[in-house]
Amino acid sequence: MNILVANWTWYPSGGDWTYVDNVTTLYSEKGHTVIPFSMKDDRNFPTPWSRFFIENIDYKKVDKTSISAGLKVIKKSIYNTEAQQNLERLLDEVQIDLAHINVIHHYITPIILKTLKERGIPILWTLHEYTPICPESTFISHGKICEKCKGGSFYHCITNKCKKGSLPASIVAAAENYTHSFLNYYQYVDYYLCPSVFLYEKFKSFNFFPEKLVQLYHGYQYEEVEAIQNKSVADKKYIVFVGRLEKIKGAHTLLKAMKDHPEIHLKLVGNGTQEEELKAFVSSHEMDNITFMGKQTKQKTLEIIKGSEFLICPSEWYEVLGFTVVEAMALSKPVIGAAIGAIPEMVIDGETGILFAQGNARDLSQKIKALYHDQEAISTMGKQAKTHIHQLINTENHYTGLQKLVPSL
């Protein structure tokens, strides 16, 4: 089969790319041809199909002094006719047997769904975030969980200035959701793949095409992780956080929890808009047990996780799945995770790790201290974590699930 895989980037860009990379590898191993459809970028992996990619949209580079330029970007982010036209040219050149959609909002846009359906192409869409039911995409408004838009009341995004605390950005986000709801291109998707039970139940509770929702855990190619298993570990003990340094990822709560544990060394891998604020917090509290590692390559990140005692996942949003947790558990590391989103589906409290109350620094502090000083628990939970994650996030199980939806695969 020729399988069109659509995603906003064709380079490593986060958890969505980790899945795209894994599923395209899987399709190729099963004898299918993957044809990417994405956005132009110098960081993209080379592909002969890049001539059909849409022009790059970089919101950070929009000329704020030019109203016309801003309006063009806004229009593209809601209804990208270039994506529609480029896709039609691609479909004229090659027969596509299946379309697998990933993250396309704001860039490629759902306009392509109608084009695919008109050509009679089956469509699967793996949901990586909550944009169709939440204009802000994360259910976070001013640092707190918010579900006011339930029932299609997207105007709450405007009145609450949910998007970046900005009225213009919130108006655009709400307008995008209203437009897509009105045009109803979502109806053309055959199945929406939900990577976790939590996400499945959330979309179902919002009555988003419940008959088309399918809960199917991601697959994962564990070869690179396994190659790290025999690497020598660090001489000094430490624990680790891996992720974007953004408020929704909870690093600020983790640092508050670490104030009482000068004997425990924490390494933070990643960067983000909150980085300087977090470094200032560490400096003002004279915390010499904290090391900011910055963004690292995947291999180096895996090596750092491998050398740690355990990983902390203090997310404060409805985490969809979290490949960092998957990789840590595959490396036989227990995880202390916030009891929110899909994290409890991986972190089984007392078995594969420990759960703490989301956003509660005191609870997290107590859990860190207890586990850090219990080497037997670290070892036992680590072994159970590896077994559990291989059973839950399993490539063959994922492909079997895809075959049930598309028997010709």
User: Digits of tens for pLDDT over the chain (409 positions)?
Assistant: 999 999 999 999 888 999 999 999 999 999 999 999 999 999 999 999 999 999 987 665 544 445 555 566 667 778 889 999 999 999 999 999 999 999 999 899 999 999 999 999 999 999 999 999 999 999 999 989 999 999 999 999 999 999 989 888 899 899 999 999 999 999 999 999 999 999 999 999 999 999 999 999 999 999 999 998 877 766 789 999 999 999 999 999 999 999 999 999 999 999 999 999 999 999 999 999 999 999 999 999 999 999 999 999 999 999 999 899 999 999 999 999 999 999 999 999 999 999 999 999 999 999 999 999 999 999 999 999 999 999 999 999 999 999 999 999 8
Domain match, 194 and 213 both: yes
260 falls within a domain = yes
Closest CA to 173 of 184, 159, 194, 185: 159
121 and 47 both lie in a single domain: yes
Are the beta carbons of 332 and 387 closer than 8 angstroms?
no
Say if residue 19 is in the same domain as residue 9: yes
> Are 399 and 379 in a shared domain?
no
CA pair distance 32, 408, nearest whole angstrom: 11
Using CB atoms within 10 Å of the CB of residue 31, give its burial: 0 to 12 exposed, 13 to 18 middle, 19+ buried: exposed
* Domain identity same for 194 and 299: no
Overall number of domains in the chain: 2
| Cα Rg of the chain, angstroms | 22
pTM: 0.93
Q: Please report whether residue 207 resides in a domain.
A: yes
Is 203 found in the same domain as 321? Answer: no
Query: Does residue 291 fall inside a structural domain?
Result: yes
Output the CA torsion 346→352→354→356 (10° steps): 10
Quote the DSSP letter at residue 233: P
Residue 325 included in any domain: yes
Q: Are 36 and 49 in contact (CB under 8 A)?
A: yes
For the chain, helix (H) and strand (E) counts, in that order, are 16, 14
Expressed as residue numbers, the domain containing 251 is 225-392
**Are residues 194 and 77 part of one domain?**
yes
Query: Does 341 reside within a domain?
Result: yes
- Per the domain annotation, does 156 fall within a domain? no
- Residues 368, 302, single domain; the answer is yes
Residues 356 and 401 in one domain: no
> Could you tell me the CATH number of the domain that includes residue 354?
3.40.50.2000
Identify the burial level of 337 via C-beta atoms within 10 angstroms of its C-beta, where 0-12 means exposed, 13-18 middle and 19 or more buried.
buried
Name the strand (E) or helix (H) holding 214.
strand 213-215
The rounded distance, in Å, linking the Cα atoms of 244 and 270 is: 5
Same domain, 93 and 14: yes
Residue 169 lies in a domain: no
The secondary structure of the chain in percent helix, strand, coil, rounded to multiples of 5, reads: 45, 15, 40
- Residue 99 falls within a domain, yes or no? yes
Q: Is 182 exposed, middle or buried (0-12, 13-18, 19+ CB in 10 A)?
A: exposed
Residue whose token pair is 């969980």: 145
Helix (H, G, I), strand (E, B) or coil at 37: strand
Instruction: Scan for tokens 């259910």, then name that residue.
Output: 139
Specify whether 301 is located in the same domain as 361: yes
Helix axes 395-405, 15-29, angle to 10 degrees: 80
Check residue 120 and give its pLDDT: 96
Residues 375 and 400 in one domain: no
The reported pLDDT for the residue numbered 99 is: 98
Sheet holding 239-242, edge to edge: 290-294, 266-269, 239-242, 311-313, 335-338, 353-356
